[in-house]
Each structure stands twice: as C-alpha cells, then as structure tokens.
Structure 1
Amino acid sequence: MDWHLQDAKNNFSKVVRLARSEGPQTVTLRGERAAVVLSIDEYERLIAKIPPLGEFLLSGPVWDDELVEEVNRRNTSTARDIDV
C-alpha cells in the first residue's frame, strides 16, 4: 500500500502493523516513492542473501595465468619510487 508521508506519520502504528501482516508499505513524498516500511522478518530475509564483503570479493571470476602475468607485468612496469 502507498502512504503519503503525512498520513504515514499520523498512522505510523497502523503502517507498522500492516507491514507485519500484509507486507511492505511504501511511503511517498510529493508523489514520488521515498521509503518502504518492512517487517523485521522481511528485512532479515533480504539481508540474509547479502554475502559478507570478503566472501563477495573472493567469489569473482578466476583469473587465468595469462591475465595474472599481464597484471603483474603492468604493476612492475608502472611502479614509481616516490619520496614522501
């Protein structure tokens, strides 16, 4: 259900109750969708699908030997000594 911001503020308990029983409640600001009120169960279901950052970074494609050599070659050929 869509709620105008002022209506959502005035009926916040109802918005939360409906989010728990009927699903996400959308809040609009000047006719534009601005926020969503979710039940804690729905929120936890959504964030459970997000892997930790380290796991995400390690899940990328495997580099073949040719790509590794090219990256290493570029790293050594463009390195500069900088006095700080």
Structure 2
Amino acid sequence: MTTADTWSVADAKARLSELLETVGRDGPQTISRRGRAVAVVVSIDEWERRKRRRGSLADFFATSPLRELGGELEIEPRGGSMREIDL
C-alpha cells in the first residue's frame, strides 16, 4: 500500500514504472519494509544536484554571515570546571 510519498517494498516492486513517474513528478519517494523506512528514490537530477560539491570548507567560512561580526563573536564556555590530566 502507498501513502502520499511512502511505498511498501512489494508495491515498489510491482509498480516500479509508476514509482519512477511519481518521483519525476512529485519528488523523492520513500520505500518501507515492515512499516520502517529503508530507502528513498530520487530523480537523477535531484541526485546530481544534492551530491554536487559546493566549495571547500575554507569557502564556507569565507562566505559565512558570521564573518561580518569581525571578531565580535563571543562563545560562552560550557559550564563546569576543566579536568586536570597528567601528562
């Protein structure tokens, strides 16, 4: 049985063409086994878009809105005391 975007394994196997059409039209579809989600089917366009690398970690930090704070960002310590360790 299918719900809005969830298909049982049996339904997905029996109605593969319909599943693929639905993915193309309505977006990602979940496949469940014994009521538990086990997989998601997405269109190749969606897959390519999601796996495309969007720059390096350095690029991320360079374009971060936090950069505009210019060193004004204050991070509060977690509470509690520091542990002493023997070196």
- TM-score class, shorter-chain normalisation, is 0.5 to 0.7
TM-score, length of structure 2 as denominator length: 0.56
Question: Which protein has greater RCO, CA pairs closer than 8 Å, 6+ apart?
Answer: 1
The count of residues paired between Structure 1 and Structure 2 equals 56
Task: Say whether 1:25 aligns with 2:24.
Answer: no
Please name the residue that 2:14 is paired with. Answer: 10
Stretches of structure 2 that go unaligned for 5 or more consecutive residues are 62-87
Task: Say whether 1:45 aligns with 2:60.
Answer: no
Q: Select the structure that is richer in helix.
A: 1
Stretches of structure 1 that go unaligned for 5 or more consecutive residues are 62-84
Show structure 1 runs of 4+ deviating over 2 A. none
Q: Which is higher, the Rg of structure 1 or of structure 2?
A: 1
Aligned sequence identity (%): 36
TM-score, length of structure 1 as denominator length: 0.58
